[in-house]
């Protein structure tokens, strides 16, 4: 382990969920470049190891975050390796096309287990460590956390829940000097649409439609989302808490 790290996060320990692809991979690598030791979490060890390749400060923990035992195990892994937790990035999440007429209990439960329950249990398990480091939590929401999404109402509702958890935890933890903020990205290049089980042609059509609606004329890339997650977590941002930052190429205004 290189302890001579330079950068804003040198000496800090960061947990990034969903670090096997998309936004989470870019976030894990950006924190490592900024000097942090990073624990990346996702189900597939192979994609996690691709994230960690060439980044000596990234370790990986492969597990399903919908299992209620996983969050404590993740925190134990990080503290076992490095003895502290400074930043928790609740990024892992799934989207689901589920029109009201096709809504099922399993469909709702699966989405909420990953998008709402897992971030909550991770935050709870990390809390004693975040208190002692005066660290921070960054939750990854979506523009659909505060806009309607016809055909994907439960995805939108799960992100709205995450935004409201962000505000409530910000107040609950303020006395401990633990900051809690959220980033709400617009359409960003990642594996998310494919992971939702949509056929390739449908995915390509959605991407074209989204790009056409975005005032800056294109979908985002994971690196330009990741940079704002680092800024929200930056120890220098000592007076920022309870905020939801939208980064979407202007989509929300259109
Ligand atoms: N891309 C966008 O347009 C967009 C827009 C707004 C918000 N977001 C949000 O940004 C976050 C990251 O999304 P992304 O677009 O980067 O998605 P992605 O490329 O599909 O990445 C999702 C990550 O989460 C992991 N994951 C999925 N289910 C998991 C589970 N049950 N347990 C543990 N890990 C799990 C995946 O790895 P495994 O499959 O190996 O587990 C993967 O590493 C999500 O919260 C998403 O809702 C994305």
One DSSP character per residue, 122-176 reads HHHHHHHHHHHHT-EEEEE--GGGSS--TT-HHHHHHHHHHHHHHHHHHHHHHTT
For 166, phi then psi, to 5°, come to -55, -50
Residue 2 has pLDDT above 80, yes or no: no
Distance 173 CA to ligand 1 centre (A): 26
Residues with Cβ < 8 Å from 151, sequence gap 6 or more?
Answer: 97, 98, 99
Percent above pLDDT 90 for the chain:
92
Ligand 1 atom 36: residue of nearest CA: 18
State residue 254's pLDDT score: 87
| Mean pLDDT score, 47-73 | 97
CB 51 within 8 A of CB 29: yes
Q: Answer yes or no: CATH 3.30.420.40 is held by domain 13-245.
A: no
Percent helix, strand and coil across the chain, each rounded to 5?
Answer: 50, 15, 35
Out of 4-8, 65-69, 72-76, 247-251, least confident range: 4-8
Q: Determine the atom of ligand 1 nearest the C-alpha atom of 219.
A: 3
Residue of 58, 77, 182, 192 with the most ligand 1 atoms within 8 Å of its CB, for mutation = 192
Query: What DSSP character marks residue 100?
Result: G
CA of 66 to the centre of ligand 1 (A): 13
Q: Of all protein residues, whose CA lies closest to atom 42 belonging to ligand 1?
A: 18
CA distances from 6 to 35, 58, 81, 114, 133 (A): 5, 15, 20, 34, 19
> Which of 9, 31, 155, 169 is flagged as catalytic?
155
- Looking at residue 7, what is its pLDDT? 78
Q: What is the pLDDT of residues 156-198, one digit of tens each?
A: 999 999 999 999 999 999 999 999 999 999 999 998 888 888 8
Q: H-helix or E-strand containing 91?
A: none
pLDDT over threshold 70, residue 217: yes
Residue pLDDT, tens place only, 37-47: 999 999 999 99
* Nearest atom of ligand 1 to the alpha carbon of 62: 33
At 4, give phi and psi (nearest 5°). -95, 25
Closest residue by Cα to atom 25, ligand 1, is: 18
pLDDT confidence band for 3 (50 / 70 / 90): low
Closest CA to 251 of 209, 216, 222: 216
Q: Whose CA is nearest to atom 39 of ligand 1?
A: 43
Angstrom distance (rounded) from CA 189 to CA 203: 11
Q: Which atom of ligand 1 is nearest to the CA of 195?
A: 20
* Atom from ligand 1 closest to the CA of residue 140: 45
Q: Which pLDDT score, from 0 to 100, does residue 103 have?
A: 98
Which residue ranges have their beta carbon within 6 Å of ligand 1? 18-24, 42-44, 47, 64-66, 91-95, 114, 140, 142, 185, 187-188, 190-192, 195
**Would you say the pTM of this structure is higher than 0.95?**
yes
- Asked if residue 82 lies in contact with residue 13, where contact means CB atoms within 8 angstroms, the answer is yes
Q: Is the pLDDT of residue 78 over 60?
A: yes
Closest C-alpha to ligand 1, atom 23: 18
**Domain ranges (residues) in the chain:** 13-245
CA distances from 58 to 48, 49, 106, 156, 243 (A): 9, 9, 34, 31, 28
Residue 155: active-site member: yes
Best residue for ligand 1 mutational test, from 40, 67, 93, 145 (most atoms within 8 Å of Cβ): 93
Cα 68 to Cα 120: distance, rounded to the nearest angstrom: 10
Q: Is the pLDDT of residue 1 over 60?
A: no
CA distance 98 to 107: 8
Which residue in 194, 201, 100, 83 sits closest to 155, CA to CA? 100
End-to-end CA distance of the chain: 47
């Amino acid at each position: 382990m290189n302890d001579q790290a330079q950068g804003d996060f040198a000496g800090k320990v960061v947990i990034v969920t969903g670090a096997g692809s998309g936004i989470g991979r870019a976030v894990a690598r950006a924190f490592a470049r900024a000097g942090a030791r990073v624990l990346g979490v996702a189900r597939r060890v192979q994609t996690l190891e691709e994230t960690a390749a060439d980044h000596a400060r990234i370790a990986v923990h492969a597990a399903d975050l919908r299992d209620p035992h996983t969050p404590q195990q993740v925190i134990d892994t990080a503290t076992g390796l490095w003895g502290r937790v400074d930043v928790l990035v609740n990024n892992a999440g799934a989207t689901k096309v589920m029109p009201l007429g096709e809504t099922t209990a399993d469909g709702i439960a699966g989405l909420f287990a990953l998008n709402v329950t897992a971030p909550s249990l991770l935050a709870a398990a990390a809390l004693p460590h975040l208190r002692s480091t005066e660290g921070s939590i960054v939750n990854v929401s979506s523009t659909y956390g505060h806009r309607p999404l016809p055909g994907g109402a439960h995805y939108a509702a799960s992100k709205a829940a995450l935004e409201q958890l962000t505000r409530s935890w910000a107040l609950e933890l303020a006395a401990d000097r633990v900051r809690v903020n959220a980033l709400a990205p617009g359409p960003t290049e990642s594996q998310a649409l494919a992971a939702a089980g949509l056929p390739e042609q449908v995915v390509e059509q959605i991407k074209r439609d989204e790009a056409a609606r975005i005032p800056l004329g294109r979908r985002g890339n994971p690196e330009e989302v990741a940079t704002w997650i680092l800024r929200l977590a930056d120890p220098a941002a000592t007076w920022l808490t309870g905020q939801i930052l939208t980064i979407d190429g202007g989509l929300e205004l259109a």
